[in-house]
Amino acid sequence: MSTEENNKNIAVDVETTYLDNESDPDKARYLFAYTITIKNTGSNAARLLSRYWKITGGDGHEQEVEGDGVVGQHPYLAPEQEFTYTSAAMLDTPVGMMQGHYMMVDDAGERFEVDIPAFTLAAPQTLH
């Protein structure tokens, strides 16, 4: 079964970027941008209500982040529509990972979670 089917036909694509100019390894400050595209591949519209993230540093330290919407918005995705946004995460190690979920609601009022599979955050030349 595909991830989209488990997610009620909501696909999530993630791209990450290390922000070298805003990071300071001497102070254990590693900043990463992540760009997420959420696409409704199904036939029912849905609105994103909230987000949940578990961010894990290379040392195993975990932090959880929950919030309303994404980047101050609650995007409504009609069938075949997509929404892209960019946000950032700070780690105290050069490598880490993020995973989480979105809480969404369809036009019938049914709430459902959309899993965001784990993705890696890595400063250049830290992974082989």
Residue 109's region, left for phi above 0, alpha for psi from -120 to 50, else beta, is: left
Residue 27 Cα distances to 85, 88, 93, 94, angstroms: 28, 18, 10, 11
The pLDDT score that the predictor gives to residue 125 is 81
The pLDDT score that the predictor gives to residue 127 is 65
3-state secondary structure of 94: coil
| pLDDT in 10s for each residue of the chain, 128 residues | 234 445 789 999 999 999 999 999 999 999 999 999 999 999 999 999 999 999 999 999 999 999 999 999 999 999 999 999 999 999 999 999 999 999 999 999 999 999 999 999 999 987 65
- Do the Cβ atoms of 10 and 104 come closer than 8 Å? yes
The pLDDT score that the predictor gives to residue 67 is 96
The domains located in the chain, with CATH, are 3-121 (2.60.40.1470)
The pLDDT score that the predictor gives to residue 1 is 29
